[in-house]
Structure 1
Amino acid sequence: MIGFSEAQIMAWLSPILWPFLRVLALFSAAPVFSMRALPLRAKIGLAFLVALCAQGVLVDQPVIAVQGRAALGALAQQLTVGLAIGFSVRLVFAAVELAGELVGLQMGLNFASFFDPASSAQTSAVARFLGYMAMLLFIVIDGHLLILMALVKSFEGFPVDGNFLQSLGQMRLHTLGAALFSSALWMALPMIALLLFVNLTLGIVSRVAPQMNIYAVGFPVTLTVGILGLTATLPLLEQPLLALMQQAVGRLLSSGS
């Protein structure tokens, strides 16, 4: 009869278990992977497949027993790192939606708001539209593969050692949020400048021709110019989205190295 010792079982299980938990934590926070339309069983199976395929590059992984005290620290570390990577990519989409909120405010479309079940908040039509476009671009530019590669790369900066407090301190997510939301203002700046010019022009027209009802004319003009401006600037969304993703993932991984 063939028997296996506990040390042998842990030597086989530990290199797959902890990466699997990190990938699973990433799937619960990252865009596309965390969609409710994706079944839970599919997420678990895909996480296990990614952890299994990553064994070719994850060498010299420590063996941490499940029943030991270090297992709690290792579990917290994997959840922290996985959620942090997913949250950093989620901030990129939040920056795009913030740019849509600013553009919708200038266009006068912020009253057309919808309930977003993902964030449990009200979002405007322009923000929802830019969010969907960012999601499609994310898939087209292989952003999901970039996230998986960043996750595998994170084991170099944040190895499985159970020290989750040190890993959390090295990530510096607060600086990442400030940088991304400042980038959102730069993304919305062309549309804001265009709509500001339109509003100034309408103000001059209202002074030249006081008999004109500026409220009845201004909204259709602002809405038309805003839609034309979105049509002209939408093809340029790929470069800032890719730059924000590289900035988010790169800063997170560089802080761990």
Structure 2
Amino acid sequence: MEFLSSLTDGNVGFFLLLLLRFSGIFAFFPFFDNQLVPVSVRGALSFFMTLLFFPLIPHTSFNFTLEEFLLAGAMELLLGFLASLFLQVVFSAIAFATDSISFSMGLTMASAYDPISGAQKSIVGQVIAMLAIVLALSVNFHHFVFLFVAHTLSSIPLGGFVLRGDIIAYLIKAYANMFLVGFAMAFPILGLILLSDIIFGMIMKTHPQFNLLAIGFPVKIAIAFVVIILVIPAIMVRFKNELNAAFLALHRLF
């Protein structure tokens, strides 16, 4: 009877708005948006987390008309989408780095189906992307997501999200820096591969009988793999720092 008495129009409306906020989180945030997590699982997680977080909602009066409620629901989904872009930039930076590495190694055609994104990706890119996801989970990435939702419940009332100019400005700046961060991650491998290409070019000039296809390419790929093994810890540290910076920006702007 106590549960039935709590099912007022206001509580049901706030419950639906919170459900939409969690739906936006689980639909667009990295790791939760991959193909390995079925839509039914994401929907069940959204409903379960809504039940857990519903007591944290501040008790206010529900004064939404039907049109205002529909607009508020759309803004809750927009909140999850915009917040996910803050973190998607970090994962896109490491994807740009791995694509650049694969291209310079000559392994662009060595691609396979990526079960996470549902598209064809290079083998090197898939390995580093999986390492990035494992690292993100090891530093409690999923816990930070839930803490962010709890933070927004106190800073942004349900149905009260407004798209501000500082959020758009940060996203534009972040996407502009995405290529710079990705290039910085891949620079040691790209630089050494460029140096090896110069050396092989000089050898071919002095020794025309040198078979670049039979000797040069396997040697270049082997050198690149050795350098990747050596610099992968530095790439993961940079990825972790960028991920922490993205979460700090989320707490500051939302």
TM tier, smaller: 0.7 to 0.9
Residue 22 (str. 1) matches residue 21 (str. 2): yes
Give the Å deviation of 1:40: 3.3
Cα offsets for 1:136-165 (capped at 9, x unmatched)? 2121221111222223223445433445xx
Superposed, which structure 2 residues align to 1:1-257 within 5 Å? 9-55=8-54, 57-60=56-59, 63-65=62-64, 68-116=66-114, 119=117, 121-162=119-160, 166-167=162-163, 169-172=165-168, 173-256=171-254
Task: Tell me, yes or no, if the aligned pair for 2:185 and 2:238 is still in contact at 8 Å.
Answer: yes
The CA deviation at 1:38 is 2.8
Offset of residue 249 of structure 1: 3.0
CA distance in 2, matches of 1:181, 1:226: 21
Aligned residue type for 1:102: S
Secondary structure, in 3 states, of the residue corresponding to 1:59? coil
How much has 1:22 moved relative to structure 2?
0.8
| Long gaps (5+) in structure 2 | none
* SS of 1:114 mapped into structure 2: strand
Q: How many residues align?
A: 251
Q: Deviations over 1:73-130 (max 9, x none)?
A: 2101110011222233223222111100111111111121234465564422222222
Residues 102 and 124, structure 2, Cα contact 8 Å, conserved in 1: yes
Structure-1-length-normalised TM-score: 0.84
The answer as to whether partners of 1:70 and 1:162 remain within 8 angstroms in 2 is no
Give the TM-score normalised by the residue count of structure 2: 0.85
* CA distance in structure 1 between the aligned counterparts of 2:241 and 2:129, rounded to whole angstroms: 16
Q: What secondary structure sits across from 1:167 in the alignment?
A: coil
**1:55 deviation in Å?**
4.1
SS at match of 2:112: strand
Whether the 8 Å CA contact 1:15–1:62 is kept in 2: the answer is no
Q: Deviations over 1:196-216 (max 9, x none)?
A: 222222222223333211232
Deviations 1:40-91 (A, max 9, x none): 34322322332333345443556354x6221012101110011222233223
Contact between 2:90 and 2:243, CA under 8 Å: does it hold in 1? yes
What 5-or-longer segments of structure 1 have no aligned partner? none
Amino acid at match of 2:95: E
